[in-house]
């Protein structure tokens, strides 16, 4: 391998050399820390990895609060993902099929929140739904009730808006990539053979964009699980990332934090690899 004599061996060496920098980084910044974190969850001491104890894993299995957190995380992330992907289909459909004025600006605006960290998204939710929020006060004017009672930024609804706010752009960008490759001739044929626009969408367009929808679902769900800043500011629901912060912040329970982190990371990896079996890698773009 080190001193190749044939072109085939040289090619193999090139592949290894080209992949090497990434894997060096992934090892030191990804795999090694994950293994250390696994060890951390089994440590008897909370300040360093020393001794062995299964206490954290026992707590994780027996205490009902952790099942509740897992349930909160999963249903909330799934709901936010479904809504975001559905809106993403509508937005990419409209952007691709209809010619709206200022389309470039629309695309730029829709993509803007991808750049925003979760804490800024939380602020956006407060601007809309807080006590001085625009939506809150608009509703207050129409219903006649007080804006302070209507404020919902720090409720589950406000958090849901925050999630959707940061997820819709991601879902839309994946689906835009898919829509760009849809064969418009088949759609035109369907229309000219008498199919209504809805029938055309359901029987022709939808099967073509299905891989994109699956890819968007995978990516968006992963992003939804990873949201932390938004929920740290709004504090509306105990999800897994917030709980990890709580375990570290209150009592420095590093073993439990490590155990939760490991379960979370393994779930994410398993979900990704199982999910990607249904789609080609090419559809995954951010």
Partner 1 sequence: MTDYYTDSKAEAETGSKELRSGTESKWTSARRSASERIGRPTLVWIVYLVVAILVVPILMTFISSFASTATGVLPRGFVTFEHWRHVLGFGDYGVRANAIPGLTFSVLVATGGMILNVIIGIPIAYALSRYDFAAHNWVNTLAILPIVPGVILGIAFLRTYPDYRGSALVLIVGYCLLKSPYMVLTVQSSFQSIDIVKLEESARSLGASWPRAFLTIIVPHAKRGILAGCIITWTLAAAEFNFTYMVHTGDPEPFSMFLFRNISNAPYLQSAAAISIYFSIVVCAILILQLLGNRGFTTLNDDR
Query: Within 176-215, which residues bind partner 1 (CB under 8 A)?
Result: 176-177, 180, 187-188, 191-192, 194, 196-198, 200-202, 204-205
Smallest distance, partner 1 to C-beta of residue 91, A:
5
Name the residue nearer to partner 1 (CB basis): 52 or 98.
98
Best CA proximity match to 237, nearest among 61, 68, 93, 110: 68
Smallest distance, partner 1 to C-beta of residue 62, A:
22
Q: Which two tokens stand for residue 267?
A: 């779930």
Smallest distance, partner 1 to C-beta of residue 257, A:
6
Dihedral through CA 234, CA 238, CA 243, CA 249, nearest 10?
Answer: 50
Sign of CA dihedral 222, 234, 263, 71: negative
Q: Quote the DSSP letter at residue 131.
A: T
Torsion-angle region of residue 284: left (phi > 0), alpha (psi -120 to 50) or beta? beta
Instruction: Figure out which of the listed residues 61, 132, 145, 157 binds partner 1, where binding follows CB under 8 A.
Output: 132
Smallest distance, partner 1 to C-beta of residue 135, A:
9
Does 249 participate in binding partner 1 (rule CB under 8 A)? no
Name the residue nearer to partner 1 (CB basis): 64 or 132.
132
Instruction: Figure out which of the listed residues 44, 61, 109, 156 binds partner 1, where binding follows CB under 8 A.
Output: 109
Those residues with Cβ within 8 angstroms of residue 76's Cβ, 6 or more apart along the chain or in another chain: 156, 159, 160, 163, 224, 237, 239
Name the residue nearer to partner 1 (CB basis): 55 or 285.
285
Instruction: Figure out which of the listed residues 134, 148, 156, 274 binds partner 1, where binding follows CB under 8 A.
Output: 134
Q: CA separation (Å) from 133 to 126, 146, 158, 248?
A: 6, 12, 11, 33
Does 40 participate in binding partner 1 (rule CB under 8 A)? yes
Instruction: Figure out which of the listed residues 55, 120, 139, 186 binds partner 1, where binding follows CB under 8 A.
Output: 120
Distance in Å from the first CA to the final CA of the chain: 36
For residues 210 and 180, what is the distance between their CA atoms, to the nearest angstrom? 13
Does 236 participate in binding partner 1 (rule CB under 8 A)? no
For residues 205 and 186, what is the distance between their CA atoms, to the nearest angstrom? 9
Instruction: Figure out which of the listed residues 110, 171, 214, 279 binds partner 1, where binding follows CB under 8 A.
Output: 110
Q: Which two tokens stand for residue 101?
A: 């004025």
Instruction: Figure out which of the listed residues 4, 117, 207, 251 binds partner 1, where binding follows CB under 8 A.
Output: 117
Does 244 participate in binding partner 1 (rule CB under 8 A)? yes
Count, residues near partner 1 per rule CB under 8 A:
111
Region 63-102 residues binding partner 1, contact defined as CB under 8 A: 86-87, 89-91, 93-95, 97-100
Those residues with Cβ within 8 angstroms of residue 39's Cβ, 6 or more apart along the chain or in another chain: 49
């Amino acid at each position: 391998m080190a001193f190749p004599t044939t072109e085939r061996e040289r090619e193999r060496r090139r592949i290894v050399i080209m992949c090497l920098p990434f894997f060096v980084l992934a090892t030191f910044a990804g795999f090694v820390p994950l293994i250390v974190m696994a060890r951390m969850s089994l440590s008897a001491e909370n300040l360093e990895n020393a001794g062995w104890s299964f206490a954290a894993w026992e707590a994780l299995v027996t205490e009902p609060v952790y099942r509740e957190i897992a349930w909160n995380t999963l249903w909330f992330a799934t709901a936010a993902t479904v809504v975001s992907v559905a809106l993403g289909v509508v937005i990419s459909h409209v952007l691709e099929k209809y010619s709206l004025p200022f389309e470039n600006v629309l695309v730029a605006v829709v993509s803007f929140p991808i750049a925003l960290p979760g804490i800024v998204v939380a602020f956006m939710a407060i601007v809309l739904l807080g006590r001085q929020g625009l939506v809150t006060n608009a509703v207050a004017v129409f219903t006649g009730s007080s804006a302070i009672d209507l404020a919902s930024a720090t409720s589950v609804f406000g958090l849901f808006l925050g999630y959707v706010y940061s997820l819709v752009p991601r879902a839309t960008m994946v689906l835009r990539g898919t829509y760009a490759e849809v064969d418009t001739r088949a759609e035109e044929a369907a229309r000219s053979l008498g199919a209504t626009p809805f029938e055309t969408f359901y029987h022709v367009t939808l099967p073509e964009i299905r891989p994109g929808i699956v890819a968007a679902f995978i990516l968006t769900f992963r992003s939804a699980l990873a949201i932390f800043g938004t929920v740290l500011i709004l504090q509306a629901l105990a999800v897994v990332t917030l709980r990890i912060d709580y375990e570290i912040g209150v009592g420095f329970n590093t073993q439990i934090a490590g155990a939760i982190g490991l379960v979370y990371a393994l779930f994410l990896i398993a979900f990704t690899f199982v999910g990607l079996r249904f789609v080609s890698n090419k559809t995954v773009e951010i």
